[in-house]
Amino acid sequence: MPETIDALVEDLSSRNRAVRRAAKDALVALGPQGIDQLLPYTLDRRPRSPRRDVQSIIERMGDEALPRLREIRREGPGRLRSNALEILVNLGGADALDEIDRRAVERLVRIKILDERPVSVPSEAGRWLAFPADRLDDAVAALGLHDVRPVTTVMGVAAATQATDSLDFQDSQGETQRAYRVFITPEFENWRAKGQIKNWRMLWGNSFLDELDGFRLARELSERCGEAHFYILDPYNSAENWYVARDGHMVRSYGTYDYPQFEGEPLPFEAWHMENADEDEAEEYAEGVPDASTAADSLSVAPGPQLAKYTHGHGWLATTHPDVPNSRFKGALPI
């Protein structure tokens, strides 16, 4: 069989799509008995190596692969233990790990949190809520969040914007429900903010904000926290939005493709831009500030790198349903 597996792995690089597909199906059909010989291929970092194909083949084996991968985690060989861990989490989330591995991951997160400075959140594209940093408990209650646990910013950003951030499940009544995973950033201090509030947190979660309407969530969040904002940077569609809610009501908004683009009265920071615009900027700022990053930097906190001296505490990962903890979400996360 070893010669057969090596030959099938070699076929993964064939120029013939049918040959590649047949090789993948044959390797998956081998099941867990092929894992020991396949897993070393995932260490191959050379260009054009079969590493990614082999990893996806093991993951296609599904739950059948879990026992052998756990044995490798416990017993080795040592060089394969890290890759076995990654595939385990991709297959079943942290729930796929045994108790020793879960405790080890939690311990590593606690250690990393202590010196994770500076941190950064996506600045080129995304959507996020912003709320006063000292209202974290109110935000958790307003948004109905559960299993709120400390994480590094690197881990949180990946969980909320790159990995699986929504999960369909059956509730106790047999109904299909959807749970979401979100990331709440550390506390960021912004002394350029024009209002009285200088310290803010962001909440990231693409599926959560898209499917449950970030504008509505901002209003609900502001009803509990006093003020909340929703921002969108969408370079693919050349679109930007920013939205300010206070005490449950929208007070000002801008949307590239909204009609009208602006709603509500201009805010003080906009008045400054309108009054100080030069000839080239006069038309751009005629009605207000159309740039979401400028609005965020003036009102709360803009995404991107955050200075260490203005970053306080750590981030939090949470889910939106009590029956679906973070450990149920699949996908290995960087720490």
Same domain, 49 and 164: no
Q: Which CATH number do you get for residue 90?
A: 1.25.10
Domain-embedded: residue 113: no
Q: 288: number of CA atoms within 13 Å, CB side? A: 22
Q: Are 43 and 79 in contact (CB under 8 A)?
A: yes
* E-state strands within 122-208: 126-132, 146-151, 166-170, 176-184, 187-189, 199-204
Same domain, 190 and 257: yes
Q: Are 90 and 330 in contact (CB under 8 A)?
A: yes
Tokens (6 digits) for 54: 């082999």
* Residue 1 pLDDT: 57
Q: What is the DSSP string of 202-263?
A: EEE-HHHHHHTTHHHHHHHHHHHHSEEEEEEEEGGGTEEEEEEEETTEEEEEEETT-SSSEE
Count: domains in the chain: 2
The CA distance from 22 to 225, in Å, is 57
Same domain, 145 and 280: yes
Same domain, 144 and 267: yes
Domain-embedded: residue 102: no
* Residue 2 pLDDT: 57
Q: What is the dihedral of CA 18, 21, 26, 27, to 10 degrees?
A: 140
* Residue 200 pLDDT: 97
Same domain, 216 and 142: yes
Q: Are 20 and 31 in contact (CB under 8 A)?
A: no
Number of Cβ within 10 Å of residue 162's Cβ equals 13
pLDDT in tens, 52-78: 888 888 888 888 988 888 888 888 888
Q: Which stretches of the chain score pLDDT less than 50?
A: none
Same domain, 186 and 243: yes
Same domain, 82 and 129: no
* Residue 330 pLDDT: 87
* Residue 3 pLDDT: 63
pLDDT in tens, 124-141: 889 999 999 999 999 999
Domain-embedded: residue 159: yes
pLDDT in tens, 152-190: 999 999 998 887 899 999 888 888 999 999 999 999 998
Domain range spanning residue 278? 119-328
Instruction: Enter the pTM of the model.
Output: 0.87
* Residue 89 pLDDT: 85
